Structure 1
Amino acid sequence: MTESVDLAGAAALLRAGALVAFPTETVYGLGADARQGPAVAAIFAAKGRPHFNPLICHFPNAEAAWAEVVPDDRARALAETFWPGPLSLVLPRRDTCRIDLLAGAGLDTLAVRVPAHPLALALLEAAGVPVAAPSANRSGQVSPTTAAHVLEGLGGRIAAVLDGGPCGVGLESTVLDLTQRSPVLLRPGGVPVEAIEAVIGPVSRPLPLSAAEASRSLRSPGMMLSHYAPNLPLRLGARQVAADEALLAFGPPLPGAGVVWQLSESGDVTEAAARLFAGLRWLDAEGARRGVLGIAAMPVPEAGLGAAINDRLLRAAAPRG
């Protein structure tokens, strides 16, 4: 049962790892504590999201965002001009970043923003945690601009809704990649690109989705892209494992592996999703340290988040150009 809660209740639920929909100036967001892997995985499960696309992390002010990512002069100028507001900036993660890897789809970058809605800002202050929040709708459905829209799509799938009335902009935030020398518009949205260019100069336009998918290079919420892949070769559907392989286990582990990372001993795909990116990184580093030659991944069923896990593993195992 999804309940309607007040500000204090919503903040407490977020800290407890629950999912809370809340209003922003763009659309209603489906929020979770971005530091908690299981909570972030629950976002993907609730939305039925078929890919682990990066999520936008929301902060009460720019300095809170800068604690997790590394801003450059362009980022600071844009934040000074457009934050709070509907602009998300993709920046490098700090080494000390507390955001769970799943929120950034395993990348070394994060999309961050400070929303302009007063209730959203109050919630972020009250919760005291960074909040990962895509739009609060089932994947592929129209983004919600009222609490009623949220309940139509996600009622019974999330803990609560914080009702702040209709959203003012009704269009998702603009997403700008600042990790390259030339800034790249990854998604048009609430801040026109012309306004951005007035602050930092020319902005490259995005590749078409088909070209972006083929290039496997961009990193944006709302794009179906390949993200972090291990250096060690990845073998899928493993039914046995050699001593010179690392094992990405799901359920009871296969015997004989040189090193093992358990996604979920009980076979829970939501737990597995929360542990996927950390597991790939750990096996890559630990496997290389121990001299193993590759990573073998046990089969994961397609049900629920299993489809998203398998999509990610398939991309990570794809031949590299």
Structure 2
Amino acid sequence: MATPQPDADAPVVEVGHLRKTYPAARRGGVPKTAVTDVSFQVARGEIFGILGPNGAGKTTTVECVSGLRHADGGTVRVLGHDPQADPTSVREHVGVQLQEAALHDKITVGEALDVFGSFYTHRADPAELLDLLDLTAHRDQQFAKLSGGQKQRLSIALALVGKPQVAILDELTTGLDPAARRATWDLVEKVRDSGVTVLLVTHFMDEAERLCDRLVVIDGGRVVAQGTPSALIEGLEGDRGVRLRFADAGARAGATALLTALADRDDDVTAAVPVGDEIEVTGTHKVLFAVVQTLAAADVVPDDVRTLERTLEDVFVQVTGRAYRVDENEEVAA
């Protein structure tokens, strides 16, 4: 099959108003709409994130993108082709690592690559994949004896064995310890740097913020926010915050009086309140400058100053009006 060659500037993946409803799970039940209205475009060479709670419709969305599941409405284009109407048109060019995919306990790493590679006309060099994903030393090791991180690296290798232009990685780091998660993040960036466009599905806010060039936030089957992580965070409404720590209670009391007076006269400072053995000062994006300038003028030096980090979780709270709970929704699979 010839490799699809869309315009270099055209999106690699285009999803428009996607919709998918599953039949009722039991007699007398009601159908479950997993995806109500999802639209996005993925540019060549980027890591694009689909972020949201478990059950928000993320996996169903990428299964429709890869042609593994048929949508009830909307449009999908991958490399200029429609995987809904003709899944074979993109099958050789999209690698998929599905959530909770498993292999036979006794199959070795090398055997798994050989088996999966046999499905493709053009396949990657297994030795190069093993080297890329730090699995060379485990080539003859059985699947059951691999660690969680090694299993995840193998799943990435299997998604890449067909030399895809697009790799779909679904909940890649679930269940991994912090060190394995960070190592896996480094590998995802190496995959992108090798020329593969990555569609990353995750419910981890920190993962999306670290890896994604752009992303959509999905909740209840709908896109509720989209953009770069930095732009979404910078666009948050509300006060910024600064925390200060002082050497002793006397220094803290004096600084509190200074900063409370500052809040009364400066429009960039909203409030200054004690929080445990610290002082929290809130205000506009200029609050840090105002605090530092005031303390310096009074020759008051804090032991520690840190800004209160705003994250994609704050974005979710702002656009949905509720806290981010990973398992809030229930996505039906059929």
Same-fold call, TM cutoff 0.5: no
Which structure: greater strand fraction? Answer: 2
Q: TM-score, normalised by structure 1?
A: 0.24
Which has more radius of gyration? 2
Q: TM-score, normalised by structure 2?
A: 0.24
